[in-house]
Structure 1
Amino acid sequence: MTQPPPSFDEAFAAQLEQLLHWRRDVRHFDTRAIPEDDIEHLLRCASLAPSVGNSQPWRFVRVHSPALRERLAGHVDEQSARAAERYSDAKQREHYKSLKLHGVREAPEIMAVFCDGEPVAGKGLGIATMPEMLDYSVVMAIHTMWLAARVRGIGMGWVSIVDPKFVGGLLDAAPSWRLIAILCIGYPCEAAATPELEERGWQAREAWLERTFEK
């Protein structure tokens, strides 16, 4: 007999919306280790994400080596310093420099997330005209993991100020793998009621109606 789908009541719906409101891009981490069972749970949840053609192109690389982690942190610092020079306005440039943009050194878990551009699974379904759907599938897996982490009180920060080729070489990634994200994972130092970039006056969340159009 086919098992009927679960029914989600109004209380669950309200909790889900609350979870979405409380997802945070975390940069300040407690150094406590995350239990291995929790890390495995997050990876299992990520694997439930939808993917084009069911190709499951995500590839998670856990960076355990202290030497690799320090090289990665130094690289992020260098790229961040270069990015600061993009701002011609001196005040905005200094504001950018004052932001804490990563927790690569202190987060107990670092993952590099790649997209396999040539997955065997999926048999090429859905990517003939939009091959970037593979990348989008990996982003879905990251977001799924992000929400699963928040439920367990675990924070996640997405680091994007990197040179993908450098990171791929550093981690000896396969030629068909494209870097999507560096993830810092750990317990947040504090539960922030307001997202940090908003709290620091960088950018507030804007009304969803301003991002919705009709034709």
Structure 2
Amino acid sequence: MMEEDNFSPEERAAIYRCIRERRDVRRNFLPDPVPPDVLARVLAAGHAAPSVGFLQPWNFIVIRESATKEALHAAFTRANAEAAAMFEGERAELYRSLKLEGLREAPLLLCVTCERERAGPVVLGRTHQSEMDIYSTVCAVENIWLAARAENLGVGWVSILALADLHRILAIPDPIVPIALLCMGYVDHFAHKPDLERTGWRKRLALDDLVFEERFGEREKTPVSG
């Protein structure tokens, strides 16, 4: 490997910091617009994601208009009421207290889609796992999320919406699958812990409990965290 291909310790530390401090942001968006050059860099990061068969199945819908945001918020409100009814007791009460979207507050929304038929019926790498194009698009979402964090932009993934509403509101043709609706914008601060951990919805799982050796369920002889 050429020495110039290596990351310096400082560059490596920055990447790990970006991963560690990425947050799912739903609140505290500032009204400042996202500059075009910053958005271009973030979208380029998404477009640089790995894709099976070099399919590059993604498209990016940039949303700024208030009317579109209001329509998406109305769809979220309907879906969120349905979701709240699925929980009971204290869990339902906690659910209703959570801030789960920032569709109206964020200056910019981004919908990432997957065009499953882009490369035809037979695609290298999808011959036995047809969903790999979906997973590739999710890699683009993660690239966008990390690039946005490096640009000091908050991003929140809003998944409590019916796909039919996304198709209708954003005029997405039926063969194309909406993968992620993201809120994006500058924020006044990034939380030290994920919101759902901070509010007590779930705790972070221990890495050592999730790593197996050779076969599922067989523990590593040496804990990965120590």
* TM-score, structure 2 normalization: 0.89
Pick which of 8-17 and 71-80 moved more.
Answer: 8-17
Distance 2:66 2:122 in 1: 38
Partner residue of 1:43?
A: 43
Give 5+ residue unaligned stretches, structure 2.
216-226
Per-residue deviation at 1:14?
2.1
Partner residue of 1:31?
A: 31
Per-residue deviation at 1:121?
8.0
**1:118 aligns to 2:117 (yes or no):** yes
Superposed CA offset, 1:21-66 (max 9, x none): 1000001111211111111111011111000100000111112332
Pick which of 121-130 and 204-213 moved more.
Answer: 121-130
Question: Contact 2:115–2:176 (CA<8 Å) still a contact in 1?
Answer: yes
Distance 1:146 1:119, change over 3 A: same
Give 5+ residue unaligned stretches, structure 1.
none
Distance 1:70 1:158 in 2: 17
Distance 1:135 1:153 in 2: 27
Question: Contact 2:112–2:180 (CA<8 Å) still a contact in 1?
Answer: yes
Superposed CA offset, 1:144-168 (max 9, x none): 1111111110110000001112211
Distance 1:104 1:60 in 2: 17
SS in structure 1 at match of 2:160: coil
Partner residue of 1:98?
A: 97
Distance 2:184 2:22 in 1: 13
Question: Contact 2:102–2:183 (CA<8 Å) still a contact in 1?
Answer: yes
Per-residue deviation at 1:9?
2.4
Distance 1:203 1:93 in 2: 14
What does 1:58-207 correspond to in 2, within 5 Å? 58-88=58-88, 90-120=89-119, 124-207=123-206
Pick which of 199-208 and 139-148 moved more.
Answer: 199-208
Question: Contact 1:31–1:108 (CA<8 Å) still a contact in 2?
Answer: yes
The residue identity in structure 2 corresponding to 1:78 is R
Distance 1:43 1:4 in 2: 29
Pick which of 98-107 and 116-125 moved more.
Answer: 116-125
Distance 1:50 1:44 in 2: 12
User: RMSD value over aligned CA atoms?
Assistant: 1.7
Distance 2:79 2:114 in 1: 22
Question: Contact 2:64–2:107 (CA<8 Å) still a contact in 1?
Answer: no
Superposed CA offset, 1:108-136 (max 9, x none): 11111111010138961111221110010
Superposed CA offset, 1:183-210 (max 9, x none): 0000123221111111111112111121
SS in structure 1 at match of 2:157: strand
What does 1:11-22 correspond to in 2, within 5 Å? 11-22=10-21
SS in structure 1 at match of 2:25: coil
Per-residue deviation at 1:211?
1.5
Percent identity reads: 36
Distance 2:118 2:55 in 1: 6
